[in-house]
Amino acid sequence: MKRTRISVAALLLASQLGGGCASTSSTTTSPTAAVGTATTEAMGQLSTATAPAAPTAPPFRVVSEQFADVRILRYQVPGFEALSAQQKELLYYLYEAALSGRDIIYDQNYKHNLRVLRTLEAVWAANEERRTASTNQQQIGHANGFATYAKRVWFSNGIHHHYSTRKFVPECTPAYFKELIFATDSKLLPLEKGESVNQFVATMTPILFDPNVAAKRVNQEAGKDLLKTSAMNFYEGVSQAEAEAYYKKKINPKDPQPISYGLNSKLVKDKQGVVQERVWRTEGMYGRALKQVVLWLNKAVEVAETPEQKLALQKLVEYYQSGDLKKWDEYNIAWVHDTKSLTDVVNGFIEVYGDPLGYRASYESVVSFKDLEATKRIKAIGDEAQWFEDNSPIKPEHKKKNVVGITAKVITTVVEAGDAAPSTPIGINLPNANWIRKEHGSKSVNLGNIVDAYGAADAGGMLEEFAYDEAEMQRARQYAGLAGKLHTDMHEVIGHASGQINKGVGTPKETLKSYASALEEARADLVALYYLPDAKLQQLGVVPSPDVAKAEYDNYMRNGLMTQLVRLQLGETVEEAHMRNRQLVAKWVFEKGKAENVVEKLTRDGKTYFRVNDYTKLRGLFGQLLRELQRITSEGDYAAGKSLIETYGVKVDPVLHKEVLARYATLNIAPYAGFIQPRLVPVEQDGRIVDVKVEYPTSFAQQMLEYGRKYRLLPNYN
């Protein structure tokens, strides 16, 4: 649960001019981005230095297309050409390993997703023919709607929205879908053994078109059976009570080095009704895909940069082959100690946001190499981790006496896969096991080139619409980019690595259950918010002015109280962990500061605004809430954690929500963004890879179809 996500709505709000990165709550902009609304071509430009005599290269277009609530972007991989041949070869093998697990995330998200995916791939050509060649406007409308649906499925790794997890349906009729099926060669359709095309249509139609079938991938509504009301494919035939009872028997809360129970398995019942785990390993569930992942990892082992990196990759292979979670811990320890390699990879079943109970993890991979220059800022913070821990407002007994091994860096992303793509994190802090972090340390990274691409895609308009006055906007234009970078750095490097759990208290997923993710993200955010105004950051040379913190405080309160609501439909409550986190923090400090008017709600010309009146007192409130959240985490106080989330993090003011949606609609900005991945192409000589080239595909649909052909490694049902 140590990953920072971002939405375009948050990204665009704080600044349209300053450079930088954003945390889950802040915005990202580019030094070259124009103020105000820009054309698609202008938004796609990245500044590059060129010799006067050289021919002018066409600008790299960052923005590819927009559909539904999504923009598709592209990112570059600067510095790749300067890597050694061995490093490039290693990255190529890790790239192939990453993409070889692509099918897994679809199956994890919903049991019918792979069949849906292969149906879309099969009928894509027939639909494109109708979309581009037909003169029948009604048919063109259906074809456009179906094409948008296919892209949404590709973007979300399934039929549920990647963020809200609610099911979306095609913008065409079931009759049109049936026409496409019968216009397609039946050999291309993902038919089950003995299934006719008519039977196939009858089965797939409600899966695609009925909004009540598998309505929510991850349900977090209090009082419901979270497993029976969620469509994710981590459990089958098992109730929430049965799952919790199963792990209560297995887990010893006093174990100082607990494995990550349930991380790499599906919980099911056998024929006798006994609950058991189907483990994800090369000779188990998902075996065909994992064997291919292992094949490429073994190739990577042979060209590893350092002995430490080689050991980590070998441990990862052993884990995939055995499914043994002790091997997963051994891998994470080896990975944390690999600090000298320029190249790196995240690969595995890692984040548990997709499981409403927080046990099972989604497949993901991020392949990267270190940006040495950009790392200086984040490293300066990581090197002072003990100071930040010692000076935290949390209780002394909840502080780590010896913060060890925080490796902080900015990375250049080469490819992302699984749950990390097309929608991507911008910050990562791993491993997740608290005891490994305490005894061996952690790695905190900022995905530098991803952040740069978000910045270059800035469309403008959000700041003018939602900031209260010119002073606030000017502060954002000057400092919000840097403030966002620092928030991400502090959230990942210091926030997730801070604090400790009391002896004899179980892990947060055991004690805080379905509220653990939101509470952990709020805790990390609060660490960042508390320290942003601290003189220590100016002493370290990473903050030039107190206005940096003010810009972030302005933005965090606007976003948490108001602008993040653009991601919800009217009538919905907040369920996603990061959104709950931000609303909890913003609403709590707003309510607690009302008596002294710390943050003021204002109305002007019928529009609502939030203005920070006292930044010092606001920092104090952030510190108070941080102290309480750390206590809840350290003591495993489920009742207090639930109360905070349900009181401040879930409910939405319907009047304000309606207003925000109306104001946002005038900006024509999609609230989410994701990426077309670069393509690595090996150059061979005498059967050996002597170089690797980077290509930048321009079509999202074509890349998805290419992936479907090349990385189709699992059966329709697993």
What is the structure's pLDDT at 199?
98
Distance of CA 645 to the CA centre of its chain: 21
Residue 578 has pLDDT above 90, yes or no: yes
Encoded tokens for 31: 């030094």
Three-state DSSP class for 225? coil
If asked whether residues 437 and 492 sit together in one domain, one would say: yes
Nearest partner of 11 among 2, 19, 24, judged by Cα: 24
Q: Span 293-316, mean pLDDT?
A: 98
Give the C-alpha distances (Å, rounded to integers) separating 313 from 80, 84, 615: 21, 20, 47
E-assigned strand segments in 56-210: 63-67, 70-74
If asked whether residues 563 and 712 sit together in one domain, one would say: no
Domain membership flag for residue 185:
yes
Domain membership flag for residue 266:
no
If asked whether residues 579 and 700 sit together in one domain, one would say: no
If asked whether residues 568 and 422 sit together in one domain, one would say: yes
For the segment 626-636, what is each residue's pLDDT rounded down to a tens digit? 999 999 999 99
DSSP annotation of 166 reads B
For the segment 674-696, what is each residue's pLDDT rounded down to a tens digit? 999 999 999 999 999 999 999 99
- Arithmetic mean of pLDDT over the chain: 91
Cβ proximity of 564 and 604 under 8 Å = no
If asked whether residues 209 and 126 sit together in one domain, one would say: yes
459: pLDDT confidence band, cut at 50, 70 and 90? Answer: low
If asked whether residues 419 and 548 sit together in one domain, one would say: yes
Encoded tokens for 715: 């059966």
Domain membership flag for residue 262:
no
Q: Span 569-585, mean pLDDT?
A: 95
If asked whether residues 708 and 640 sit together in one domain, one would say: no
DSSP annotation of 573 reads P
What is the structure's pLDDT at 55?
62
657: pLDDT confidence band, cut at 50, 70 and 90? Answer: very high
What is the structure's pLDDT at 139?
93
Nearest partner of 670 among 196, 63, 165, judged by Cα: 63
What is the structure's pLDDT at 461?
86
If asked whether residues 459 and 574 sit together in one domain, one would say: yes
For the segment 64-89, what is each residue's pLDDT rounded down to a tens digit? 999 999 999 999 999 999 999 999 99
Domain membership flag for residue 392:
yes
Identify the domain boundary among 627, 652, 677: 652
Structural domains of the chain, count = 2
DSSP annotation of 105 reads H
Alpha-carbon span 77 to 32, nearest angstrom: 18
Other C-beta atoms closer than 10 Å to the C-beta of 596 total 11
Alpha-carbon span 674 to 60, nearest angstrom: 17
Identify the domain boundary among 601, 623, 652: 652
For the segment 380-426, what is each residue's pLDDT rounded down to a tens digit? 999 999 999 999 999 999 999 999 878 999 999 999 999 999 999 99
Q: Residue 185 belongs to what domain range?
A: 111-216+694-717
Cβ proximity of 42 and 36 under 8 Å = no
Identify the domain boundary among 652, 684, 709: 652
If asked whether residues 703 and 627 sit together in one domain, one would say: no
If asked whether residues 617 and 710 sit together in one domain, one would say: no
Alpha-carbon span 597 to 590, nearest angstrom: 9
Site of tokens 């290693």: 90
Give the C-alpha distances (Å, rounded to integers) separating 687 from 85, 87, 118, 683, 684: 15, 18, 34, 10, 6
Residue 227 has pLDDT above 90, yes or no: yes
Residue 9 has pLDDT above 60, yes or no: no
Dihedral sign of CA atoms 105, 106, 107, 108 in order: positive
If asked whether residues 472 and 589 sit together in one domain, one would say: yes
Strand-pair partners of 601: 610
Residue 51 has pLDDT above 50, yes or no: no
What is the structure's pLDDT at 39?
26
Domain membership flag for residue 502:
yes
Q: What is the 3-state secondary structure (H, E, C) of 357-387?
A: CCCCCEEEEEEEEECCCCHHHHHHHHCCHHH
Q: What is the pTM of this model?
A: 0.86
CA atoms within 13 A on the CB side of 676: 25
Domain membership flag for residue 190:
yes
Domain membership flag for residue 698:
yes
Residue 128 has pLDDT above 90, yes or no: yes
If asked whether residues 705 and 563 sit together in one domain, one would say: no
Nearest partner of 276 among 250, 251, 301, judged by Cα: 250
Domain membership flag for residue 581:
yes
Alpha-carbon span 583 to 522, nearest angstrom: 9
What is the structure's pLDDT at 1?
43
What is the structure's pLDDT at 47?
31
What is the structure's pLDDT at 288?
98
Residue 11 has pLDDT above 90, yes or no: no
For the segment 542-551, what is each residue's pLDDT rounded down to a tens digit? 999 999 999 9
